[in-house]
Structure 1
Amino acid sequence: MAHLTARSSYARLTERLNRFPQGAPPSELLEQILAVLFRPEEAELVARLPLRPFSADQAARAWDMPAARAQVLLEQMAERGLLVDMQQRGQMHYVLPPPMAGFFEFALMRVRDDLDQGLLSRLFEQYISVEDDFVRALFSGGETQFGRVLVGEDVLSSAQALHVLDYERAEAIIDAATHIGIGLCYCRHKRTHQGRACAAEMDICMTFNGVAASLIRHGQVRPVERGECKELLHKAREQNLAQFAENVQQGVNFICNCCPCCCEAMLAHQRFGPEHPIHTSNFIAAVGENCSGCGRCLPVCPARIISLETDQPGGYGRKRAVIDQDACLGCGVCARVCRLKALHMSPRAQRVITPVNAVHKTVLMAIERGTLQHLIFDNQVLRSHRALAALLGAILKLSPAKRALAGSQLGSRYLERLCARIDILRDESSSSHKSA
């Protein structure tokens, strides 16, 4: 019966993961991944944790155990990158990060001997890169995505650079960070265990601010100064890697330096481009008349959306690069490699809107993915919270007119105001998506 108990623990943990907007669709593969990362008793405990940051005392109440014992368990899981810990008002708080960007990546951001990274890499590859459910839910489950592409500042003209805001600049994000940590690229490390990694830099995954502080504290990443981080950014650009950052203006927690062949965000865009799985930069690549058709831009494009076409039928005549502008991410890698400067970046007709901070992004994602009720009624240990979350979840699936009627019938001013705010946020998110 022990194996049945363990499976039920991982099923409950899966349910807990999917209360957050960035979840993980249940499957046999996911249970195998969770079994590598979490012990059965840990899975059972983590399934009962809140979505929002919590203290050891709050965990102890949820787990019905002494606070000192809860503290030890929380520290053990933070040490292994399963939880992120942070100081809030002089007290340590913890949060379960989403699988991605979160504890999936943390498991491969350094070489470890406490888990089978080869097995984990094979499971990740099958669950994320072969099967569709997880990557589709993560990258195309709504209009607000968790990541965005940064334009390469070095390919912009001086006049264009004046219109790039600080949160759109990789170097400005580095300058604003309170903590900076560098770890192994999860994507290329995963492919290394399969003998399929490219030759791009491995030790180059950048984490910032509170997440970096936690990962540094537990040895998941190494601390670096701003100068070294900028040197790595320069190296990434020399290797034609695209910068993929957290989709927020304030408190950016990561910048990945992505290749077109290993990185899951870029592979997702190649598979689901029409569904806009990644927020673009505010620029778009354009081809000038002096393009020679040399093809240097084709293999470096992270989105794989450049082709060569001829100006005469049958493949005859002058060749020229053609860009699928509907799928262009605006990273600028193609412009960087063009020796004739025939490729250049142009401002998009409408600016892409970026959520202000992690809370704003999470609320937008929750509204779009139908999980807002779990953020509002967070203590799922209580039956009352589970019941209220189910009720609110049903109401939020209604049309705006029916939601207003439901709020009126329930006599809840709070619900009426909440539904009105949801409609405003949904409109903002839709406008952002159309701008992209």
Structure 2
Amino acid sequence: MKELFIKLQNYLILRFNSVTIRQANILTTLTILLFTIIFAYLLIKENYHDYEKTLSQQHHEQIAGTPYDYDVAQEKLKSLLIKNTLAIATLAFILFAIMLGFYKIFNTLIQRDMKAFLDFFNDAAHKDQVLNPHTIFFKEFKTMVTYANDMVDTINEQKSSLKELNLHLEDKVKAKTQDLERILEAQKEFLRYTVHETNTPLSVILTSLELYEMEHEKDRHLSKVEAAAKNIFNIYDDLSYLVKKEHVDYPKASIDINKFVKSRVDFFTEVAYLSKLSFSYVSEVEDLYIFFNETKLQRIIDNSITNAIKYTFQNEIIDIKLTKTLQYVEFSIGSHSQPIKDVDKIFDEYYREDAKSVASEKGFGIGLRLVKNICDEEGVVIVIDLNEKQNTFKYRFKIMGE
């Protein structure tokens, strides 16, 4: 019986899984009415059966010669049948009304308790409030009130803890941010001071070396000093540009691209020679001007040349060319070096393709990143041409007036 009840319960849950309380009330009322009618019908049927049985007995007695008035007795039985039928129907509907009344009362109390829970959960997302157990009628719902209030208290405690944690976290983040800003500002200030103070001794070294070479023969050891000083001077120029670019305006001017590139090639010739390299400079343009800032142009040319010197195999030639292509003048520099594995990352800051290789330990990618930023700012097109013999970087500058 219990298993049958459980199966019936599961069937009803699956069959009527979206029934409202109002629909359930109507269904329950109709069910009670149906059973009341059936109950009344069965009693009336039984009463009528007794009536027919009594009539049959009286008929047999009359045949047997028992003296009594058969018609009068039959009328009395009919009257009794009607009274009993009315009494049964009345009693059935009185019982139905009583059951329905109790059902409505308890159902109203259930709905009231349910509404209290619905209002509570609806408002709990926006207000910190608890349920009053004295407003709940049923004991089971009172137990649920205790659990719900405990849940609200736990959530409020967690919210308070999180709020306090967020306040402390915000204060800590602000403090750390301020410390970081002070450190960054101190680093910038130190870098500005270092760059400023480095300029004078570097200029003195290079000038002294030039004067010495004018008065004496070229000395190999002094050539190494000169090459090292020029490398340091290039690094100084990069740092100086990085420090000043946000605060200094870099105006553009007309520049003879051929003369400018040739001067930078001459500047780094000694550096290349001491690295057992040489330049092959070919220019197909004469008296060709671009409208560009000289400092930015020097950063592009110098970093491209020094990058080629760092990574080109010894006893090789670095090919530098200037060619005209439509409205552009193209500066290209090709080196015989290890093939580039990831072209998309070659301009990323601090990118190193192979940390174990000797070549990758010669630089950190800052120079090429600086070059990429300048090219993006000034609309210079970069093309990288890779093959088995050379890695070639090409920069296309728009010709002045084109």
TM-score, normalisation: structure 2: 0.22
Q: If each structure's helix is expressed as a fraction of its own residues, which one has the higher value?
A: 2
Larger RCO (alpha carbons 8 Å, 6+ apart): 1
TM-score, normalisation: structure 1: 0.20
> Which structure's CA Rg is the greater one?
2
